[in-house]
Amino acid sequence: MNRPTYLEINKTKFINNINKIKEYVGYKELMPVIKANGYGTYINKCIDIVNMFNIVAVARVDEAIELRNIGYNGEIFLLNQASILELDDIYKYDITIGISDITFIKSITNPVNCHLEIETGMNRTGVKVKDLDTVIDIINNNPNINICGIYTHFSSADDSSDYTNYQINNFREAYNKLKSIYNLKYVHCSASNGLMNYKIDFTNLVRPGLIMYGYETFTGSNNIIPVEAIATLKSQITFLKEVDEGEAISYSRRYITDSTRRIATIPIGYADGLRRSMTNTGYVLVNNTKCKIVGSVCMDSCMIDVTNVDCKVGDTVYIFDNKNITLEDIATIYNTINYEVLCTISDRIKRKFIEE
């Protein structure tokens, strides 16, 4: 790995986070959500980490295939409703799938383990409670389907107890109907926000996502489970120059110096996931000093003002260090959430794994 820009992933902190989550949820099994390349961390590519779990969750069939190809032999659960076109791969790679679409259910021709998804208020995918009898009949007429679990998704477990309790009640109604019909190995509804905010007595599995990676899923969530951020995004100064007063920096002359300034170039840009909205608004960290990004962020690089910093070519630059500059700071500039900041770091950025 020669490029000086990389995402450093601390595996020790990840394992510590898992242990804290286990302690909090007690008897319930963890099914870590490692979709989207482990929320951009690539932790899903570490077989020693993945092998810590009996079951893991992904969003796409190709993500499950990759896990099989690196040697994971445990259960892989596909959270999202798959396409009929993916059925052959589902059979071949022994993928447990979430199902809710009737046409898809009728198209299953080989034995497959399934979790029936219940629509309780998210209105994305799932079977509504009022339609369960019809769907049960269709499932029971297909001997290739083994219903070994049921699940649902909460939409507002971070900010609406009334709506989440409404969803829990819907899910409980479905569970009461299905528990005597199928041997339900897994009953699950809680992702990160749900597992922290609700104690649900009839479920036995939780689906931690962002909290495994050490980031808050809502303000104050770290007070409930004190996880540590596992990722830091680093680069280096590759060029230094003095720019006279009145000179323009970068494309479209969006920054004009108001005095003589010392400007550094760092090799990270919008093709790497550092958005152009950081232009003249964002900061990076150089030698414990916050330095403003000046001029338009380029595709492969950006410029920063280091006038008041003792620095040289080769010095480390933190895009975020989780203390002085956090994912939440960047998300505020992007007008988005910390999930998206982490997930959209480009695959041009290499991941470097460390252990303490």
Catalytic residues: 35, 251
Q: Are 164 and 111 in contact (CB under 8 A)?
A: no
| C-alpha to C-alpha distance for 40 and 48, rounded to whole angstroms | 18
> Which pLDDT does position 1 carry in this prediction?
58
> Which pLDDT does position 2 carry in this prediction?
81
Residues in the chain, pLDDT under 70 = 1
For the stretch 127-141, pLDDT in tens is 999 999 999 999 999
Place of tokens 């302690």: 23
Query: Pseudo-torsion of CA 269, 329, 39, 164, nearest 10°?
Result: -150
Vertex 53, ends 51 and 55: CA angle to 5°? Answer: 115
| C-alpha to C-alpha distance for 304 and 294, rounded to whole angstroms | 5
For the stretch 267-293, pLDDT in tens is 999 999 999 999 999 999 999 999 999
Q: Are 204 and 196 in contact (CB under 8 A)?
A: no
Q: Are 303 and 295 in contact (CB under 8 A)?
A: yes
> Which pLDDT does position 131 carry in this prediction?
97
Q: How far is CA 353 from CA 12, 101, 154, in A?
A: 10, 39, 32
Sign for the CA dihedral angle at 39, 30, 208, 176 comes to: positive
* Residue type present at position 171: F
Neighbour tally for 48: CB within 10 Å: 10
> Which pLDDT does position 351 carry in this prediction?
98
Half-sphere exposure of 151 (CA within 13 A, CB side): 29
Neighbour tally for 9: CB within 10 Å: 23
